[in-house]
Structure 1
Amino acid sequence: MFALVTDFEDLLAANRDFAADFTLSGFDGVAHAGVAIVTCMDSRIDPLGMVGLKPGDAKIFRNPGGRVTPQALEALVLATHLLGVKRILVVPHTRCAMASNTEDELRHKISESAGQDASWQSFGVVTDQRAALADDLAKIHAHPLIPDTTAVAGFVYDVDTGLLEQLA
């Protein structure tokens, strides 16, 4: 049995404040704007805010580098068939650690931080963001369970200006 950890009390207090004015009760879980966004886990990205949406409007899938992984494809299939998604945005970003480090550099940094060997861990480094984005869009277009009628586009989010640049 796990003991309660007090390291989260500030977050629980914030949650109580959030819940006091909670407005999404009874929400159906459908993406009301018909949008899905695949983007990086980077905390500088506000996936909804960057495209003028609010909670309930879109399905968000985040991972290191904003890549279209098998898990992202699974989410997109569910989103397009069951959750109202008609448009998919794939959005990597500038100054991404996954695009500005080599696999060996990340392994070394993690080994140092963890105090143990991380040479076996894969991090999915991106050596060419534009080529990776093109590959990711091709994966979506080629997936047999994502409807051809779904609009799919690729963008790069600039973490210093907040602007999106459409690449495909």
Structure 2
Amino acid sequence: MDDFTDLIAANKTFAEDFTLGDFDGVAHAGVAIVTCMDSRIDPLRMLGLEHGDAKIFRNPGGRVDGSALEALVLGVHLLGVERILIVPHTKCAMAGNTEADLRVKVGSSMGVDASWQEFHVITDQIASLQEDVRRVRSHPLIPESVKIGGFLYYVDTGLIDQKF
């Protein structure tokens, strides 16, 4: 069995004063965030939000793919989402590598051929962000009343800059 002892112990400490058992699951601030899986990003704290305020969807690069769109549609119609922020970040590995780079790095790490794996790298972060904002705004199941913004998060300063 894999060793998760430290995390299980931390969870027990967390559960000792757990107060969210009756939480309704609604985004109390009406916010949904699509961002990267990068551990330098703390989606709630960077926006002054707290647990329960937002629905957060993370993936490599913070792209609005099919799964992100599904989450956003559900968030809007079932979970109180009224504002959507799409937030990629500076120094992102998905924007700083090519498909070939990532295939070589992963293949070398695993000791196998990874040339078949797609990683969906980002060649132009701003153009990709604009495309993602447009994709959400034009989705037939996301009403025009929902506010949608495209931002870039700067990992060295903690600031966000609205681009769209």
With the shorter chain as reference, the TM-score category is over 0.9
d(CA) in 2 for partners of 1:101, 1:29: 37
Query: What are the within-5 Å matches in structure 2 for residues 12-161 of structure 1?
Result: 12-161=8-157
CA distance in 2, matches of 1:12, 1:120: 36
Q: Deviations over 1:64-88 (max 9, x none)?
A: 0000000000000000000000000
The number of aligned residues is 164
Q: Return the offset for 1:6.
A: 4.8
Structure-2 change in CA distance of 1:6 and 1:104 (3 Å): closer
SS in 2 for 1:7: coil
3-state SS of paired residue (1:32): coil
Q: Which runs of 5+ in 1 are unaligned?
A: none
The CA deviation at 1:147 is 1.0
Moved over 3 A (4+): none
1:35 is aligned with what amino acid? Answer: V
| TM norm structure 2 | 0.99
Q: Aligned partners of 1:21, 1:130: CA distance in 2, in Å? A: 43
Superposed CA RMSD: 0.6
Residues 4-59 of structure 1: CA deviation (Å, up to 9, x unaligned): x2510100000000001112111000000000000000000000000000110000
Q: In the aligned structure 1, how far is the partner of 2:100 from the partner of 2:30?
A: 39
Query: Distance between the aligned counterparts of 2:19 and 2:145, measured in 1?
Result: 32
Q: Which letter does structure 2 place at the counterpart of 1:130? A: I
Q: State the partner residue of 1:11.
A: 7
Report the TM-score when normalising by structure 1: 0.96
- In the alignment, the residues of structure 1 paired with residue 91 and residue 124 of structure 2 have an alpha-carbon distance, to the nearest angstrom, of 12
Q: Which runs of 5+ in 2 are unaligned?
A: none
Distance in 2 of aligned mates of 1:163 and 1:71: 27
